[in-house]
Amino acid sequence: MPKNFFASPKGMKDILPEEEGFWKKIYQSVEKIAKDYDFHFIETPILEKKEIFLKGVGEESELVSKQMYSLTTKGKEKLVLRPEGTAPICRAYIENGMSSLPQPVKLYYYGPFFRYERPQRAREREFHQFGFEVLGAKDPFYDALVVLVFTDILKSLKLKDFIVKINSIGCRKCRKKYLRALKKYYQPYLKNLCSDCQKRFEVNPLRLLDCKEEKCSLYKKGVPIILDFLCKDCKRHFKLVLEFLDYLSLPYYLDHTLVRGLDYYTNTVFEIFLGGEEEEEFSKLSLGGGGRYNELIKFLGGENVAGVGFGAGIERIIEAMKIKGVKIKVNPKDLFLIALGGEAKKEILAVWREIKKAGFKAAEAIEKESISAQLRAASKLNVKLALILGQREAAEKTILIKDMESGIQEEIPQNKLIKELKKRIEK
C-alpha cells in the first residue's frame, strides 16, 4: 500500500471485475425469477429515519442497539444507513398507499446494507442483499412461495446442495406462554451463559436460542419445543406451510431452535444454509433467510396487514458458488482487434463500431506498442479470430483476418469484413 494513502473503511470493499460474472449472474437470476413469479421491482433509499428500525426491528435487538451506522443531519434529523430491507419496504408500502392496490403486493429489491459489527467470512460491514416481500398476504401459500423463489434462484445459480431450516415462532399470544417456559428452563443455568445471553434472558429471551457461543449452545438441546406451545391458528398455519413444501417436494428440516435475529417475525421463520461435505456442520454458511411479519406494517403506523419475505446475502452466495466450484463465463469474446500506427488505430475503432452493430464482441490491447505484444494478449483470451490493421492495410483499406488456432491469415477488403465474419463465426 503506498504511503499517505487512504484505504476504504474497515469492512467495506470494492467489488472488482474479477467477480463481475458472479454478480451479474446473480442479478440476472433474481430478475428472471422475479418476473416468472410476478414480483415487481422496488428500490428504497440507502438512508432511512432511525425510528423505522427502532419501531420495526425493535429497540432491544442487537441490530438496532449496536450495529447501526447513524448520523444526525444539520436539520437534526436522525438517519441511519439501512441495516436490513424489510422495514424500509413496509415503510414504502404505507407511504405510497400500496394497501389500496390489489393485494398482495409482491416486491423484490437488491442493494447495499450496512451493519457495524466485526467483519467475518462473507459478512462485511457493507454487504449486499436481494430480497422478496409479499405484503397484504395472510395465506400460507405465500410462505411457501417465497421459499420456492429463494430455492429456485439458488438452483439457477447451480447451487443444488442447500439446507432449508424452518420453524414457527407463533403469534404474540402463544409466544408469551412459550417465553415463560423458556425462561423457566434457562433460569438454573443463567450464570453459565455468556454475558449477552444474560441480558437476552431479561429483554428478549427468544434470542437465547440464537446464540452462537459454545457454552450457550450446550443448553439448546433440552429447550422446550416452541411448536408444542402454538395456538390453534398458528399450528394450523404452520401445518399448511409444510404441506405446500411437501407437495412441491422441497426438502426442509424442522429446527425448533431457529428464531432469526429480528424482532418483527411472527409464525414462519426459515433460513437456508449451504449443504454438502465442504463445510463443517457447525459453521454452515447461511445464505439468507426470512419469514412472516404479521405485525410489522401495523408497528410502523400502517394498517393491520400481514407480510412474508426473505433476504439473501449476495457475498455469501458468491462464497458458496466458489466453494462449490461453479464456473461462470464472463462476456466471451469472438474477436481481438490489433492495430499499429495512427491511421490504423482510427480505422480499427471505426471497424469496432461496425462489427459491434453486427453483433460481434471484441477485445483489444491497442495500448501495447507492437503487433506481436498485441497478438500475445489475444492468445491469452481464447478468441477465434484476430483482426489486424497495420499502416499498409490502413492505406489500402484492407484488413488481415488471422485464425488464432491454425495461425493462417488472409487479407480481405474492409468492406467485405462483416460478410466474412458471419461466415466464420456462428452467432
Which chain residues interact with Zn ion by CB under 5 A?
170-171, 174, 194, 197, 211, 213, 216, 231, 234
Pick between residue 216 and residue 386 the one whose CB is nearest to Zn ion: 216
Pick between residue 29 and residue 167 the one whose CB is nearest to Zn ion: 167
Q: Smallest gap, in angstroms, from Cβ of residue 190 to Zn ion?
A: 11
As to burial, measured by CB atoms within 10 angstroms (0-12 exposed, 13-18 middle, 19+ buried), residue 277 is exposed
Q: Smallest gap, in angstroms, from Cβ of residue 210 to Zn ion?
A: 9
Q: Within 13 Å, how many C-alpha atoms sit on residue 362's CB side?
A: 25
Q: Smallest gap, in angstroms, from Cβ of residue 193 to Zn ion?
A: 5
Pick between residue 194 and residue 240 the one whose CB is nearest to Zn ion: 194
Pick between residue 177 and residue 384 the one whose CB is nearest to Zn ion: 177
- Provide CB contacts within 8 A for 193, sequence distance 6+: 186, 201, 208, 211, 213, 215, 216, 219
Pick between residue 216 and residue 272 the one whose CB is nearest to Zn ion: 216
Query: Cα–Cα distance between 54 and 47 in angstroms, integer?
Result: 14
Q: Smallest gap, in angstroms, from Cβ of residue 158 to Zn ion?
A: 36
- The Cβ of residue 399 has, within 10 Å, a number of other Cβ atoms equal to 27
Q: Smallest gap, in angstroms, from Cβ of residue 30 to Zn ion?
A: 33
Positive or negative, the CA dihedral 227, 232, 238, 240 is: positive
Q: What are phi and psi of 171, to 5 degrees?
A: -100, 180
Question: DSSP readout, 217-278?
Answer: HGGGGGPPPGGGG--HHHHHHHHHHHHHHHHTT---EE-TT---S-TT-EEEEEEEEE-STT
Pick between residue 171 and residue 272 the one whose CB is nearest to Zn ion: 171
Q: Smallest gap, in angstroms, from Cβ of residue 234 to Zn ion?
A: 3
Query: Cα–Cα distance between 363 and 140 in angstroms, integer?
Result: 51
Find how far residue 332's CA is from the centre of its chain.
Answer: 24
Query: Cα–Cα distance between 151 and 288 in angstroms, integer?
Result: 11
Q: Smallest gap, in angstroms, from Cβ of residue 202 to Zn ion?
A: 13
Q: Peptide bond before 224: cis, by omega within 30 degrees of 0?
A: no
Pick between residue 197 and residue 314 the one whose CB is nearest to Zn ion: 197
Apex 336 CA angle, 333 and 338, nearest 5: 165
Pick between residue 218 and residue 395 the one whose CB is nearest to Zn ion: 218
Pick between residue 76 and residue 172 the one whose CB is nearest to Zn ion: 172
Pick between residue 211 and residue 242 the one whose CB is nearest to Zn ion: 211
Q: Smallest gap, in angstroms, from Cβ of residue 196 to Zn ion?
A: 5
Query: Cα–Cα distance between 143 and 239 in angstroms, integer?
Result: 11
Query: Cα–Cα distance between 248 and 408 in angstroms, integer?
Result: 56
Residues 348 and 387 sit within 8 Å (Cβ to Cβ) = yes
Q: Smallest gap, in angstroms, from Cβ of residue 101 to Zn ion?
A: 28
Pick between residue 180 and residue 424 the one whose CB is nearest to Zn ion: 180
Q: Smallest gap, in angstroms, from Cβ of residue 294 to Zn ion?
A: 10
Q: Smallest gap, in angstroms, from Cβ of residue 291 to Zn ion?
A: 14
Tell me which amino acid residue 260 is. Answer: R
Residues 269 and 309 sit within 8 Å (Cβ to Cβ) = no
Question: DSSP readout, 132-167?
Answer: EEEES--SHHHHHHHHHHHHHHHHHTT---EEEEEE
